[in-house]
Amino acid sequence: MVYSQQRSITILMLPWLAHGHISPFLELAKKLTSKRNFHIFICSTPVNLTSIKPKLSPKYSHCIEFVELHLPHEELPKLPPHYHTTNGLPPHLMSTLKRAFDMSSNNFSTILTTLKPDLLIYDFLQPWAPSLASLQNIPSVEFITTSAAMTSFGVHHLKNPSPKFPFPSINLRDYEAQKFNNLLESSSNGIKDGDRIQQCSDLSSDIILVKTSREIEAKYVDYLSGLMGKKIVPVGPLVQEPMYLKVDEETWIMKWLNKRERASVVYVGFGSEYFLTKEEIEEIAHGLELSKASFIWVIRFPKEEKGRRVEEVLPEGFLERVGRREL
């Protein structure tokens, strides 16, 4: 049978409402459609889809579509539609956003019924999604967008609160461990985040996808597999494709990297929605300066400080002292 004449396999994706989750889901969709005859629907709130649509080049328009998921807002007046995302969400409304996401389950069930996908790929906080899919005989697979090291560390402490993590290179100080535990204990709709995480992994059909590779995290992948009792399938780093870069054209960053020795550059970044305090910036700058290593440091500012320049927040004379080691 000719490849183009084969029936396409339909996949519905439901990421958590954060850009750092939606973006890897989109890159996974691109990777899947480039390998096989898949047709993929990515489901999220209108405000999130507005920001992600520009990242989809026209070559994928025939095989990747976006589906709007509407969260209730009349019942939750403190959470208008422009807050149906973690981007720019006031911290005190995070629990409300999770509650609204849970309350959208009926709308999501209708989407499942309408699209009748062959597979659901879902994120780590919505156990109701695979449960609803199961009611319609649709298999589900969890996709974890964080590293295997981070995920295995978290799951280890959920399942084994007392014993130490078996890889001592990852170790939290007491105050850091308390913050970490507070994250797992935080709840909305009467469900702790730690319980949501465990339920989502339990409901995944035989395998769990993780944004990583065995070349980088083999020992953590294997440990995570044992903790979860599921086969872990690494799907690669899922780096976003340059939208308008010509084939074989080097970016200025690549040119800078190509002048450095292999494995000699430190990358410093804390995600798309974490903003460092002045004290944190000063401490990191001090450490990078003492390290004598070349580095790429990503510093982000909140929306209200969008026009701020990096030079304004770095210690005085820092750029001059590190010279050409920084980017």
Catalytic residue among 39, 84, 123, 157: 123
Q: Is 118 designated active site?
A: no
Catalytic residue among 21, 39, 84, 156: 21
Q: Residue 153 contacts by C-beta under 8 Å, 6 or more apart in sequence?
A: 165, 170
Q: Is 123 designated active site?
A: yes
Q: Which long-range contacts (CB under 8 A, 24 or more apart) does 215-223 make?
A: 217/147, 217/148, 217/149, 219/167, 220/147, 220/148, 220/149, 220/151, 220/152, 220/167, 221/148, 223/152, 223/156, 223/166, 223/167
The angle, 0 to 180 degrees and rounded to 10, between the axes of the packed helices 94-103 and 105-115 is 40
The amino acid occupying position 22 is I
Q: Report how far residue 313's alpha carbon sits from residue 14's, in angstroms, rounded to the nearest whole number.
A: 37
Show which residues are catalytic: 21, 123
